[in-house]
Chain A
Amino acid sequence: MTRYILRRFLQAIPLLFLISLLLFVMMQNMGDPLATMGGRTMTRSEDRARLTRQLGLDKPVIVQYLYWLIGNDWTKIDLDGDGVAETPGIRKGVLRGDFGYSLVNREPAMEVIMERLPNTLLLMLTAEVVILFGSLLIGIYAALRQYSLMDNVVTALSFIGYSMPIFFVALGLMYIFAVNFKAWGLPYLPTVGMFDPQAGKSVWQVAWHMVLPVITIAITSFAANSRYVRSTMLEALGQDYIRTAKSKGLPRRSIVFIHALKNASLPIITVVGLDLPFLLGGAVVTERIFAWPGMGRLFIDHVSRADTPVVMGIMMLIAFAVITFQIITDVLYAWLDPRIRYQ
């Protein structure tokens, strides 16, 4: 098993290099990062040229990629523009954990990202728990009453939920629960941010502000997941061991939740495991609408300002998480299902 995990990680390394190279090259044409740097406008062209040299933006793409990857402390860079490289570089490179400095606010890119990561994780993990419990509940209910009226209603609703763009759900919920509830004098939900600046950041405030974004994310994901639970539950319920359990006279509750669900949960784990890393990126659109200070919003803000270090950092973090979770899912699957063996 250790060998298997190790091999999977080794196979992933060239993949990560390929992704990083593709993305890095793409980042080069994203506009002028100097134009919006820290809100300053540079009027003198010498300043521009000096800054371009300092940031290494005058080098060819491949050299910039190399500096990003392995740093430039092994070579000298030309800071004063006289054509002679004399100042030793200070960047360590991604491979040694240095993601460079954000071009927007000159803070270390990793710090900028890590500042937002907990917010995204809080939102997305809560959403994932809601999705998991909700879709298990809906899926099992629909499976136990196959082809009943409720099953058909759930099927139709999940098609609608699956087809609904996130922003439509978000705007609809905002309109009903924030705007109209306020107009009717009912307790209304907040629409933007993580907490009310006047009330201060408290657990209650954050939880209250999380309600709408979590429901938004959940509604669009319930659909596909509950369909999946329904079909794996139906398959498990049709097995021989369920008939045996029934004929032994076991109570229905333990048949459904222990015998059937336990076996049906295997494929569900795969789906959840492969979904989890994508949560890191946050729901870009949801975070934007609800002004949630997470990674998705950070990404949009920094893409529009051509901030290569931060954008690359976010994307590499997600790529790494996706690969890791793929491996974890496979391993977990083999551990839970003794019939599967990896060589």
Chain B
Amino acid sequence: MVKQRTPDLRPVSAPDEIETPVLSLSKLAWRRFRRHKMAVGGMVTLVFLVLYCIGGAFIFTEEYANYNDLSIKLQPPSSEHPFGTDTIGRDILARTVYGGQISLLIGLTAMIVEIMVGVVIGALTGYFGGWLDSLLMRLTEAVLIVPQIFLLLVMAKFFGGAVPNINILGREFSGSVIVIILIIGLTAWPYTARIVRAQFLSIKENEFILAARATGTGTWGIIFRHILPNSIAPIVVAATLGIANAITLEAYISFLGLGVRPPTATWGNMLEGAYNYIDQGIYWLWLFPGLLILLIVLSINFVGDGLRDALDPRSRAV
């Protein structure tokens, strides 16, 4: 269905008249975002990386990415294998394509888990306060006190091993992917919860909340229709940075050998054991997946930074 354009009925202003154009909030944010050069650059890089991971799948099959031939192991980059081959003779270029898909998948879904848990806990504590607040905030502090990487390693051990391979859309995934998504989501939420709680604490004191309550809006209506939409900006920023964080964390645990199990490739587990070969001057094992992780994290961080500026309601720049 073609969206019908409404005729512009606003009076045409004289060219010399200084007037702020009438813009919706999202248009305003988009304008501010565009002015942030680094953020736009990050966005473009991000699009290219996503295209690389999806488009590459049309060139290489997953069987090829997982096909190992010990006779060509540890070959330096050549025209046949542009990124070289790994320790058991798999093509690194093809593996970065499929590894990127899994890394992106983990980043996105772990972020969703993190945001869902964080928003629910932050909203409950911020809105209701009282014993629920003290209880859940103690839990939040407890999770924050142990360094995240330690928690992740313990949880990876806890949930790992027992998960069978799963089959989604005709592709075989190592069940450890699900484990990694869950544990990253379940250890990263305290940051989001704190942000959401602070937002709720300040927004619930506003007059429009009082008005909503006076007109008989129920508790859940106030939480979901009135307060949550007003605190969406910091949540969006936290979510964006959460993706970058999840991709890095996945790389860390996979690098330490407790992450996603082969043959499923991720940018993180492609690096596992790369340091054992560094003395032989073999750089292609870690350089390409490492660069891709750096690029994607960097571009997501730039986008997040741009979003933070663009969505800031106090910013009056148009």
Contacts and interface: CB of A to CB of B under 8 A. Distances in A.
Contacts of A168: 286, 290-291, 293-294
Interface in B132-164: 138-139, 141-142, 145-147, 149-150, 153-155, 157-158, 161
9 contacts: A27-B154, A159-B302, A160-B294, A167-B252, A167-B290, A168-B294, A171-B278, A284-B149, A288-B256
Given A30-B158, A162-B301, 6 more contacts: A163-B301, A164-B297, A171-B286, A183-B281, A281-B149, A284-B252
Contacts of B251: 165, 167
Interface in A138-189: 156, 159-160, 162-168, 170-172, 174-175, 178-180, 183
Interface string B244-256: 1000100110011
Interface stretch (A108-116, A263-271, A297-305): A297-305
Nearest to A282: B147
Interface string A112-147: 000000000000000000000000000000000000
Contacts of A30: 154, 157-158
A300 B256 contact: yes
B293 A284 contact: no
Contact of A171 (B157, B256, B290, B305): B290
A32 to B, nearest CB: 11
**B interface majority secondary structure:** helix
Top 5 closest A-B pairs, CB basis? A163-B298, A168-B290, A163-B297, A30-B157, A171-B286
A208 interface: no
A318 B138 contact: no
A299 to B, nearest CB: 7
B57 to A, nearest CB: 24
B52 interface: no
Interface of B: 38, 138-139, 141-142, 145-147, 149-150, 153-155, 157-158, 161, 244, 248, 251-252, 255-258, 271, 274-275, 278-279, 281, 283, 286, 290-291, 293-294, 297-298, 301-302, 305
Contact of A304 (B141, B142, B157, B278): B157
Contact of A19 (B146, B161, B286): B146
A285 interface: yes
A179 B290 contact: no
Contacts of B147: 278, 281, 318
A199 interface: no
Given A163-B294, A165-B294, A285-B256, A318 B271 contact: no
A170 B297 CA distance: 17
A15 interface: yes
Contacts of A175: 278, 281, 283
A5 interface: no
Nearest to B251: A165
A319 interface: yes
A174 B275 contact: yes
A57 interface: no
A14 interface: yes
Contact of A23 (B154, B278, B302): B154
Interface residues of A, number: 49
A5 to B, nearest CB: 18
Interface of A: 14-15, 18-19, 22-23, 26-27, 29-31, 156, 159-160, 162-168, 170-172, 174-175, 178-180, 183, 191, 278, 281, 284-285, 288-289, 299-300, 303-304, 306, 311, 314-315, 318-319, 322-323
Contacts of B297: 163-165
B145 A174 contact: no
B158 A29 contact: yes
A285 B251 CA distance: 11
B145 A323 contact: yes
Given A191-B278, A315-B150, A318-B150, A303 B145 contact: no
A15 B141 contact: yes
B295 to A, nearest CB: 9
Nearest to A171: B286
A303 B154 contact: yes
Nearest to B42: A159
Contacts of A171: 271, 274-275, 278, 286, 290
Contacts of A162: 301
B278 A179 contact: yes
A19 B145 contact: yes
Given A159-B302, A163-B298, A318-B150, A18 B275 contact: no
Contact of B301 (A15, A159, A299): A159
A160 B153 contact: no
A284 B153 contact: yes
B264 to A, nearest CB: 20
B142 A174 contact: no
Contact of B293 (A160, A165, A278, A314): A165
Contacts of B275: 167, 170-171, 174, 289
A163 B244 contact: yes
B99 to A, nearest CB: 14
A15 B145 contact: yes
Contacts of A284: 149-150, 153, 252, 256
A244 to B, nearest CB: 30
A152 to B, nearest CB: 10
B216 to A, nearest CB: 39
B298 A285 contact: no
